[in-house]
Amino acid sequence: MKPIKLRQADRLSITILVDNYTDLLLMMDSEVVRRPKLAPPTAPLAEHGLACLLEVSAGDEKHVVLMDTGITPACLRHNIDILGVDLSSIEAVVLSHGHFDHFGGLVDILDGLRRGVPVILHPDAFVERRIRIPGADRSIPLPRLDRSALERSGAAVDTRSAASTTASDLLLITGAVARQTDFEHGFPSAEAKIGGEWVADPFHDDQGVVINVEGRGLVVLGGCSHAGIINTVRQAQRLTGTDRVHAVLGGFHLSGPIFEGAIQPTVEAMKSLTPDYVVPMHCTGCSAIDRFAAAMPAQFLRNTVGTSYMFA
């Protein structure tokens, strides 16, 4: 595979606007971690969703990209307001995949973004989806991303299947992730309507974003990582021709009993990638987060809403 063109960044910050966890008392900062300092009763809200603000720089050049938008406009708007985020600075929105906990706040905030802002996503993000209830003969339909609503709200919908870049080639979008591991099996209860038939959801639209920080290596950010966080990192390595991994962040989708068997192989594979930092969020689940903390204590960072990660 010929490496894709990805410029090196001097600096990268990732601020978590929506995640499952909030903690006003987890205030310890470091060179990499900046916790929000808010005067009570002001506090970030948490929900089962993800939204991340990326600010990437090279010299005097700076780009701001939003990845995902949580479930509810209320949560996203509240956290944007208390953290002082300037929506007008956002030049692109990247959706990791077409699940409600990643696109739910999007239409609502488009009025604060410049008109015509690109919303970059895989075309399968628009497919109809449902969750099969284990042990029951029924399924629950999931909220569906509405392309016409995005366009009416001023977005320029930019569908891409293959790997591509944005932010003047400083940010890589992986495109559909190749499945190579033998322990990352997607989401067994998820179904999608493809070609008029309900099938096990292949999650072709699941993708991550990647930044190559000069002198540090790759920073890989997943959404839910339905394709597998290890598959996602390995795809980032193949696409960039860079083996060194500086940080892996995002949802690793290891929550719940059906994923229990995948936790330890994922932890062991992550250790073999030797990242400097690992930041499990969102759908990783408490059990898996604790396992990462125990197995990789020097690399593990515990996330809470409002935290910023600084890589330079």
Percent of the chain's residues with pLDDT above 90: 94
What are the backbone dihedrals phi and psi of residue 215, each rounded to the nearest 5 degrees, phi first? 80, -5
Spatial distance between the Cα atoms of 239 and 277, rounded to a whole number of angstroms? 21
- Mean pLDDT for 162-175 is 98
Residue 54 lies in a domain: yes
Strands 308-311 and 11-18: antiparallel
pLDDT band at 27 (very low <50, low <70, confident <90, very high): confident
145 occurs within a structural domain: yes
Contact status, residue 51 vs residue 105, Cβ threshold 8 Å: yes
> Does 88 fall in a domain?
yes
Mean pLDDT of 72-97: 97
What are the C-alpha distances in Å from 18 to residues 13, 47, 123, 211? 15, 7, 24, 20
Whether 135 has a pLDDT exceeding 90, the answer reads no
Q: How many domains does the chain have?
A: 1
Please report the pLDDT score of residue 223 as a whole number. Answer: 98
Per the domain annotation, does 126 fall within a domain?
A: yes
Any idea of the CA torsion for 66, 143, 266, 212, to the nearest 10 degrees?
A: -20
Block residue for tokens 């029924």? 138
> Which residues span the domain enclosing 90?
8-311
Average confidence (pLDDT) over 184-204: 95
| 293 domain residue, yes or no | yes
Question: Are 97 and 228 in contact, with CB atoms under 8 Å apart?
Answer: no
Q: What is the pLDDT of residues 90-104, one digit of tens each?
A: 999 999 999 999 999
| Residue type for position 13 | S
- Residue 209 falls within a domain, yes or no? yes
Query: Cα torsion at 83, 113, 253, 206 (round to 10°)?
Result: -160
CA–CA distances in Å: residue 104 to residues 77, 266, 282: 12, 28, 15
Q: What is the mean pLDDT of residues 249-269?
A: 96
Position 3 in a domain: no
- Per-residue pLDDT at 80: 98
Rounded (10°) CA dihedral 121, 124, 127, 130:
-100
pLDDT at 133 over 90: no
The answer to whether 15 and 68 have CB atoms below 8 angstroms apart is no
User: Which pLDDT tens digit goes with each residue over 31-48?
Assistant: 999 999 999 999 999 999
| Higher per-residue confidence, 138 vs 150 | 150
Query: How far apart, in whole angstroms, are the C-alpha atoms of residue 136 and residue 61?
Result: 54
| pLDDT-based confidence at residue 1 (cuts at 50, 70, 90) | low
Residue 193: strand pairing partners: 128, 198
CATH (domain of 296): 3.60.15.10
**Look-up of token digits 């400097």:** 276
Mean pLDDT confidence for 18-22: 97
Average pLDDT, the chain: 96
- Helix ranges (DSSP H) in the chain: 73-83, 100-103, 106-109, 147-152, 229-240, 260-273, 286-295
Sign of the alpha-carbon dihedral angle for 30, 243, 291, 12: positive
Q: How high is the pLDDT of residue 230?
A: 98
Establish if 140 belongs to a structural domain.
Answer: yes
- Residues 282-307 have pLDDT tens digits of 999 999 999 999 999 999 999 999 99
Give the global pTM: 0.97
The mean pLDDT value for 110-123 works out to 96
pLDDT value of position 242: 96
- The angle, 0 to 180 degrees and rounded to 10, between the axes of the packed helices 260-273 and 229-240 is 30
